[in-house]
Structures are given as structure tokens and as C-alpha cells.
Amino acid sequence: MGHRRDHRQPYLDDSPLFLSGNLVPLTIIKGAGHEFIPLPNGENATTADFHSIRTKTESPAHFTSGFYKIEAGPQRPAHYTFEETKYVLNGQIDILDEATGITHHLVPGDFAFFHVGSKVKFSTKSNGLAFYAVTRPVRAPHPNLLGREEDNKAKL
């Protein structure tokens, strides 16, 4: 009888890297925090990308992660040409989904997924901070990460 794979579980021995014996070290960024992300002059929201790679999956794409910071002010429109996940860390982020007309009030612990073609308007009555991961290259590098990526040769 043939081997049945449970597609819900990852399989290390299916990985080309595992099969070839080439182990790849992790990328670690110490202090990739949100505390020192300034808003651009005259703006009430910004992104701060802190890591990006060109994936080595079946359909290579960029995979970038960072923080989204917003303060009270005008709505911030976005029309998605890439996928994105947002996870609210603190504050509140309101998202008007133009496809449905519904405004979602996201608070810490809430998650949103934006499909290619999603069109939204972000706002907040106070402030909000979210972690995101997107399938696009870096647009706005985190302003305070210079020198924080660890050397892969570092030993504990």
C-alpha cells in the first residue's frame, strides 16, 4: 500500500532543501520593533517593512513583513494588487471594505486578509498598530533597523 500524506501537516522530507542536504540558516532581526517608527511629515499613517525575500516556492513571489501605524486623521485608501495579512497589535484600526460597504473595527487580536482586488479605506479615532505580511517587495523600509540583522555566523 502506498504512503498517504496528510496535506494539513508539513512534511520535511518533501522539501528540496532537505533532500539535497543543504541546510539554510534562519534570518533573525533583533529589535524589529514598532516603537521608533516616525510618521512622515503631514501624514497620519505609514508602513515600515522590516524583512523581504524572493521566495523559493513553486511560484516565486516576494514575501515582505512589517508594521502598519495609523493615527487619527483622514481616511487612507488602498487598492490591493498583492495579498496582505494584518494582525492588530494595539489600538484600533477601522477598515471600510468598499466591496461590501461594511466598516470593520479591528482591535488587538483581530486579523484581516486582503485579496488581490480588495479596495479599502483605513482610519482610526485614536491610533492603531498592526503587523503585516504581504506578497510585494519593500516599499518603505523601517527607518531604524540599520545593523540589526544578525550575522548568520553568530554563536550563542
Q: Cell numbers of 54, please?
A: 524572493
- Is pLDDT larger for residue 71 or for residue 14? 71
Q: Which three cell numbers stand for residue 42?
A: 503631514
Please report the pLDDT score of residue 94 as a whole number.
96
Q: Given this model, what pLDDT does residue 91 score? A: 97
How large is the average pLDDT for residues 73-101? 94
Neighbouring residues of 93: CB distance < 8 A, sequence distance ≥ 6: 68, 70, 86, 106, 122, 123, 124, 128, 130
| Radius of gyration of the CA atoms of the chain, in A | 19
Do strands 93-97 and 119-123 pair parallel, antiparallel, or not at all (unpaired)?
antiparallel
In angstroms, the CA 80 to CA 124 distance is: 20
Domains and CATH numbers, the chain: 44-156 (2.60.120.10)
Provide φ and ψ at 115, rounded to 5°. Answer: -85, 160
